[in-house]
Amino acid sequence: MSTRTLPPHGSLSRARHHHCTCQPCRERSTAYMQHRSRMVAYGRWQPYVDAEPIRQHVALLRACSLGIPRIRQLSGTSGGAMSKLLYGANGKPPSARVRTLTADRLTGIRPSLELALPTARVDGVGTRRRLRALVAVGWPQIELAHRLGMDKKSVNDQVNTHGLPAYASTALAVRALYDELWNVDPASQGVGERWIAEAKARAHARGWAPPAAWDDDYIDSPAAVPDLGERVDRYAAISEDALWLMDEQGYTRELAAHRLGITQRHLDRALAWAREGVAA
């Protein structure tokens, strides 16, 4: 039979729930009660907050390919607290409230590809578009593979396979390479004219858009389309994509903004513009 590991000495849980009377636990309990008394006196005692926004934030982090173990590690949240927040426990539904400290720790994690484990699988659409855009301006795939430290087949699969996810490490490496090369002439870096011409011809035959056709704020959005000279109102496109995500896929506004690769303020402006257009 397994035994449950007690919280460490000096923790509030050990002092209050396991009634430990050692000096570190007594000191921790005293400090907690003094803090509580001060906050009550100031009218600022708020040990719990609404759990739903915290659940939505965790969902946003998971959409960024941060798994639950990784979120727990980054926030210092216990497995029990996370389980109660997301799934409930002992036949009870997910928590209606969550401790303020837990909420602060979780919301302190901001969505970022850099936080994902290198081996985490992330949406490959932005990686694919960046690689294709570089090919479109003359960068051969074998040269891109060399600069990425990858074999040509892996780069070829990433470029050509729709729906193929990418490792977070690959997505970061491709993003950095794209930022470095998008406006650099391959010939100036020693790439032969024949290989440049072949790369451009391949991209043209497949309709791959060059870097100039992509908005850097929007290139990772699955719903984005390249601007190849067509006059498409950007706010109209954003609002349509966001409403589809929220109405059809159940995204919150924050999740939709992240999925489209824009800030929530930018999305709010687009939706306000759309509402004004309908009203007019």
Residue 229 binned pLDDT confidence (cut-offs 50, 70, 90)? low
- Judge whether 245 and 256 are in contact, CB under 8 Å: yes
CA atoms in the 13 A half-sphere facing the CB of 244: 12
pLDDT of residue 8: 73
Tell me the C-alpha distance between 239 and 158, whole Å: 29
Average pLDDT over residues 215-221: 76
Q: Which of 32-46, 87-101, 128-142, 212-226 has the highest average model confidence (pLDDT)?
A: 128-142
Residue 78: C-alpha distances to residues 1, 72, 73, 84, 93 (Å): 22, 7, 9, 10, 18
**For residues 64 and 116, is the Cβ–Cβ distance under 8 A?**
yes
Number of C-beta neighbours around residue 246 at 10 A = 16
Looking at residues 80-96, what average pLDDT do you find? 89
Residue 211 has, within 13 A of its CA and on its CB side, a CA count of 18
For residue 91, the Cα-to-chain-centroid distance in whole angstroms is 31
Q: What is the pLDDT at residue 232?
A: 45
Please name which of 101, 113, 96 lies closest in space to residue 77, comparing C-alpha atoms: 101
Tokens of 186: 């391959």
DSSP-assigned states of every residue in 190-206: T--HHHHHHHHHHHHHH
Strand partners, 89: none
pTM comes to 0.57
Burial of 63 (0-12, 13-18, 19+ CB in 10 A): middle
Give the pLDDT confidence score for residue 40 in this predicted structure: 59
H-state helical runs in the chain: 12-17, 23-42, 52-63, 68-75, 79-86, 100-107, 125-136, 141-148, 152-160, 168-181, 193-206, 234-248, 253-259, 264-279
Query: What is d(CA 236, CA 21) in angstroms, rounded to the nearest whole number?
Result: 64
Phi, psi of 267 (to 5 degrees): -65, -40
Better pLDDT: 37 or 143 = 143
pLDDT for 200 = 94
pLDDT band at 41 (very low <50, low <70, confident <90, very high): low
Does the pLDDT value for residue 269 go beyond 70? yes
* CA 83/CA 210 separation, integer angstroms: 45
Q: What is the pLDDT of residue 3?
A: 45
